């Protein structure tokens, strides 16, 4: 028999488990029981179509045995079991290895979070045990195998005798220390309570020999010691229970265990319907995105049950992409047990369920937005981006559905606004919804282009994510109001008179601008005077459909190298500040310096707009020249 090494990540986790100061060590039992339950589900599912399984539905069970003398807690199941190879693979490595890597790198605080964030599964046994033995026999095989490990040093796998199909996990409980009374896990009452707390809904009976005293018949006040088998769990799936009898804690525990989260969910949606579609659903909106949420690896979907039996782990058809963060399950009587994935996709019943669930989720979010604003803002911080992508994707097909769930920071003290709120708070005479783009709200505040809009008393929505402006563009307008980027060349803020005046001014400076443009080449499309600047001399705006921010975003996308997008930029110069006169003077006296000024002003505008200065060396030299003149 050879001792094998754990894969390095597994070893790390194992070390952590062994030395864990985790306050919820008790969850080890729930993890081991869940594994048993899953294994039974698999065999049960097989038994529906395979006569050779030979176990009746009501014979499936999980057994717990406590042995105080030998300090062992044993959990056995008559589930599907594992082959030698599976034993090695499943218990010698961590299935979700990538996730662990990620967490380990982000390990800042105590390991509480790491253990919680990561579905620790089987290894959690090592939080309370100094030796774990697993004996297992796979359905369809004659051979049984034993896995044994005393900790991070490694494990052995060998042949063993085992009569029936299934798995037995024997945990040797650690000795008590000053801080930790591990012996509590050998106590039948403690174990019963743990099962009630974490595993009550497990569909299969969890039975344990319970030592108790019974009155002796015919003799008053005399008792005898008896051992009786007790089923410790009620076995009613939580989603089949009435809402009235469930406490927040029940939902939270269920969620955390089932969906491997360390935090309670933000919201719970528990609903059942009869009629066109008959189903119960239990859905959760998490407080934070799972570690892989914004990666390609993330799979959306709800668990799908048919009459209490799990038929699919992740049914993607049940959730639209924009609600992909929702976790949960659906149990329906309308679906057949052995329906295939392909058939499901075309199943009308399933589509109907999906539609109603989507409405429920949306309604729940709307309710949160209305009644629990702060919580909604937190939710939006975590998943808002998904809703915004939802607006933009599929050519804006779902923009209508989602538009009232969007919130954006605003110039009103940085507060979040819905589009509806913005619209309601619009000033008299204001016709459009103004927005500005930038990396952060603070940067946006500094944009010279915002001044004129704020001066009018209009609010500005701050768009700080790349996707924001694209989402807004898909909406085109909200309730009859167009969206206008404050960096758009045409802000439409001036009165007719002011417009005429400015037009005349620009007309007369036409030749001067031509001269300046010569110095700037292709960098800008046009140069103009503007009225909108209050505290700055210049700014960059864009004409046409592509803004400066969109240019940045599009050009940062993969594959954009050959196909650079270019915003059509306009260099706007304040018509009312001294610089205007200075330029006019130079045009008449010193064209060479005018060209240098054009370059300088363009550089300044780039700096303020968050666009890299095209030629920093030249820019700096010009500034120096001016300074030393
Ligand atoms: P998880 O359950 O999250 O996948 P675990 O570390 O708890 O992670 O278990 C790893 C794998 O080992 C399981 O996915 C399963 O395939 C197998 N396994 C664990 N316990 C049992 C069991 N009692 N019966 C059959 N297979 C099991």
Structure tokens at 330: 């659906």
Average the pLDDT over each of 86-100, 125-139, 428-442, 477-491 and give the range with the smallest value. Answer: 86-100
3-state DSSP assignment of residue 372: coil
Q: How far is residue 107's CA from residue 458's CA, in Å, rounded to a whole number?
A: 45
User: Which of 7, 38, 119, 137 is the best mutation target for the ligand 1 pocket, counting ligand atoms within 8 Å of the beta carbon and taking the most?
Assistant: 38
Closest residue by Cα to atom 13, ligand 1, is 90
Confidence at 525, pLDDT banded by 50, 70, 90: very high
User: Which of 6, 10, 90 is the best mutation target for the ligand 1 pocket, counting ligand atoms within 8 Å of the beta carbon and taking the most?
Assistant: 90
pLDDT of 247-288, one tens digit each?
999 999 889 878 888 899 999 999 998 888 889 999 999 999
Q: Which long-range contacts (CB under 8 A, 24 or more apart) does 493-501 make?
A: 493/452, 493/453, 493/456, 493/532, 494/531, 498/531
The answer to whether the CB of 133 falls within 8 A of the CB of 125 is no
Cβ–ligand 1 contact at 119 (below 6 Å): yes
Cβ–ligand 1 contact at 149 (below 6 Å): no
pTM to 2 decimal places: 0.67
Kindly give the number of the ligand 1 atom that is closest to the alpha carbon of 169. 23
Cβ–ligand 1 contact at 39 (below 6 Å): yes
Helix ranges (H only) for 510-590 are: 510-520, 548-555, 578-589
pLDDT at residue 613 greater than cutoff 60: yes
For residues 412-416, give the mean pLDDT.
95
For residue 194, report the distance from its CA to the centre of ligand 1, in Å.
20
For residue 82, report the distance from its CA to the centre of ligand 1, in Å.
9
**C-alpha atoms less than 13 angstroms from C-alpha of 497 in its C-beta half-sphere:** 0
Task: From residue 260, give the alpha-carbon distance in Å to each of 16, 40, 283.
Answer: 18, 20, 14
Q: DSSP string spanning 12-42?
A: HHHHHHHT---TTTTHHHHHHHHHHHHHHHH
Closest residue by Cα to atom 21, ligand 1, is 35
User: When comparing pLDDT for 114 and 44, which is higher?
Assistant: 44
For residue 240, report the distance from its CA to the centre of ligand 1, in Å.
26
For residue 35, report the distance from its CA to the centre of ligand 1, in Å.
5
Q: What is the pLDDT of residue 120?
A: 64
Closest residue by Cα to atom 10, ligand 1, is 90
Cβ–ligand 1 contact at 390 (below 6 Å): no
For residue 36, report the distance from its CA to the centre of ligand 1, in Å.
8
For residue 97, report the distance from its CA to the centre of ligand 1, in Å.
14
pLDDT at residue 300 greater than cutoff 60: yes
For residue 90, report the distance from its CA to the centre of ligand 1, in Å.
6
pLDDT of 139-198, one tens digit each?
999 999 999 999 888 899 999 999 999 999 999 999 999 989 999 999 999 999 999 877
Q: How far is residue 562's CA from residue 553's CA, in Å, rounded to a whole number?
A: 15
Closest CA to 483 of 526, 530, 547, 533: 547
For residue 604, report the distance from its CA to the centre of ligand 1, in Å.
62
pLDDT of 310-343, one tens digit each?
677 889 999 999 999 999 999 988 776 556 666 6
Average pLDDT of every residue of the chain: 88
Cβ–ligand 1 contact at 166 (below 6 Å): no
Q: What is the pLDDT of residue 108?
A: 42
pLDDT of 4-39, one tens digit each?
888 777 777 777 777 766 667 888 998 899 899 989
Burial 507-524 (b: 16+ CB within 10 A, else e): eebeebbebbbebbeebb
pLDDT of 216-235, one tens digit each?
888 888 899 999 999 999 88
Kindly give the number of the ligand 1 atom that is closest to the alpha carbon of 31. 7
Cβ–ligand 1 contact at 95 (below 6 Å): yes
Kindly give the number of the ligand 1 atom that is closest to the alpha carbon of 35. 20
For residue 5, report the distance from its CA to the centre of ligand 1, in Å.
19
Structure tokens at 536: 């700055």
Cβ–ligand 1 contact at 121 (below 6 Å): yes
Beta partners for residue 481, in sequence order: 478
pLDDT at residue 102 greater than cutoff 50: no
User: When comparing pLDDT for 253 and 79, which is higher?
Assistant: 79
For residue 25, report the distance from its CA to the centre of ligand 1, in Å.
18
Give just the sign of the alpha carbon dihedral 471, 473, 478, 482.
positive
Q: How far is residue 519's CA from residue 512's CA, in Å, rounded to a whole number?
A: 12
Cβ–ligand 1 contact at 82 (below 6 Å): yes
Closest residue by Cα to atom 19, ligand 1, is 35
pLDDT at residue 549 greater than cutoff 60: yes
Kindly give the number of the ligand 1 atom that is closest to the alpha carbon of 166. 24
Cβ–ligand 1 contact at 145 (below 6 Å): no
User: Which of 35, 147, 164 is the best mutation target for the ligand 1 pocket, counting ligand atoms within 8 Å of the beta carbon and taking the most?
Assistant: 35
Kindly give the number of the ligand 1 atom that is closest to the alpha carbon of 77. 23
User: Which of 17, 32, 122 is the best mutation target for the ligand 1 pocket, counting ligand atoms within 8 Å of the beta carbon and taking the most?
Assistant: 122
Cβ–ligand 1 contact at 90 (below 6 Å): yes
Closest residue by Cα to atom 20, ligand 1, is 35
User: When comparing pLDDT for 516 and 576, which is higher?
Assistant: 516
pLDDT of 530-541, one tens digit each?
988 878 899 988
pLDDT of 43-74, one tens digit each?
998 888 888 988 988 899 999 999 999 999 99
Q: DSSP string spanning 349-367?
A: HHHHHHHHHHHHHHHHHHH
Using a 10 angstrom Cβ sphere, with 0-12 exposed, 13-18 middle and 19 or more buried, the burial of residue 32 is buried
**C-alpha atoms less than 13 angstroms from C-alpha of 250 in its C-beta half-sphere:** 17
For residue 282, report the distance from its CA to the centre of ligand 1, in Å.
24
Q: What is the pLDDT of residue 309?
A: 67
Closest residue by Cα to atom 17, ligand 1, is 90
Q: What is the pLDDT of residue 471?
A: 92
Cβ–ligand 1 contact at 85 (below 6 Å): no
């Amino acid at each position: 028999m050879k001792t094998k090494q754990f894969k390095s990540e597994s070893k790390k986790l194992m070390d952590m488990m062994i030395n864990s100061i985790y306050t919820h060590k008790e969850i080890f039992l729930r993890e081991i029981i869940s594994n048993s339950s899953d294994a039974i589900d698999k065999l049960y599912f097989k038994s529906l179509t395979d006569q050779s399984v030979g176990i009746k539905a009501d014979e499936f069970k999980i057994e717990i045995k406590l042995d105080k003398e030998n300090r062992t807690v044993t959990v056995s199941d008559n589930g599907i079991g594992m082959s030698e190879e599976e034993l090695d693979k499943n218990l010698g490595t961590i299935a979700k290895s990538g996730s662990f890597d990620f967490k380990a790198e982000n390990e800042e605080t105590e390991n509480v979070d790491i253990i919680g964030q990561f579905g620790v599964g089987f290894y959690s046994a090592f939080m309370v045990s100094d030796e774990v033995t697993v004996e297992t026999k796979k359905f369809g095989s004659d051979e049984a195998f034993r896995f044994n490990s005393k900790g991070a040093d490694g494990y052995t796998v060998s042949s063993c005798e085992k009569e029936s199909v299934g798995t037995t996990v024997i945990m040797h409980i650690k000795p008590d220390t000053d801080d930790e009374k591990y012996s509590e896990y050998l106590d039948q009452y403690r174990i019963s309570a743990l099962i009630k707390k974490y595993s009550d809904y497990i569909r299969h009976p969890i039975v344990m020999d319970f030592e108790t005293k019974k009155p002796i018949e015919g003799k008053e006040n005399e008792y005898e010691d008896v051992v009786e088998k007790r089923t410790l769990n009620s076995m009613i799936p939580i989603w089949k229970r009435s809402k009235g009898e469930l406490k927040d804690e029940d939902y939270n525990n269920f969620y955390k265990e089932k969906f491997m989260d360390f935090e309670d969910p933000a919201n719970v949606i528990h609903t059942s319907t009869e009629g066109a579609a008959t189903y119960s659903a239990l859905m959760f909106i998490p407080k934070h995105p799972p570690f892989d949420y914004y990666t390609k690896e993330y799979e959306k979907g709800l668990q799908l049950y048919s009459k209490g039996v799990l038929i699919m782990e992740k049914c993607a058809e049940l959730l639209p992409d924009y609600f992909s963060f929702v976790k949960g399950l659906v149990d329906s009587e309308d679906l057949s047990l052995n329906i295939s994935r392909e058939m499901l996709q075309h199943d009308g019943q399933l589509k109907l369920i999906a539609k109603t669930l989507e409405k429920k989720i949306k309604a729940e979010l709307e309710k949160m937005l209305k009644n629990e604003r702060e919580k909604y803002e937190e939710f939006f911080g975590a998943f808002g981006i998904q809703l915004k992508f939802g607006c933009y994707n599929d050519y804006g097909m779902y923009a209508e559905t989602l538009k009232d769930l969007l919130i954006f920071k605003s110039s009103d003290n940085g507060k979040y606004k819905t589009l509806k709120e913005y619209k309601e708070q619009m000033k008299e005479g204001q016709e459009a919804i103004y927005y500005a783009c930038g990396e952060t709200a603070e940067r946006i505040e500094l944009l010279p282009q915002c001044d004129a809009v704020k001066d009018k008393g209009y609010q500005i929505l701050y768009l700080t994510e790349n996707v924001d402006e694209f989402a807004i563009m898909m909406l085109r307008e909200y309730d009859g109001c167009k969206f206008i980027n404050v960096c758009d060349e045409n802000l439409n803020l001036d009165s007719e008179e002011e417009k005429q005046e400015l037009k005349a001014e620009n007309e007369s400076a036409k030749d001067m601008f031509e001269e300046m443009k010569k110095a700037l080449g292709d960098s800008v499309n046009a140069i103009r005077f503007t009225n909108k600047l209050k505290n700055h001399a210049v700014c960059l705006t864009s004409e046409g459909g592509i803004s400066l921010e969109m240019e940045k975003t599009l050009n940062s996308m993969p594959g954009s190298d050959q196909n650079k997008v270019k915003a059509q930029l306009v260099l706007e110069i304040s018509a009312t500040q001294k610089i205007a006169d200075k330029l006019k003077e130079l045009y008449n006296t010193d064209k060479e310096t005018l060209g240098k000024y054009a370059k300088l002003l363009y550089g300044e505008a780039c700096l303020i707009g968050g666009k890299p200065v095209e030629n920093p060396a030249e820019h700096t030299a010009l500034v120096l020249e001016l300074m030393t003149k």
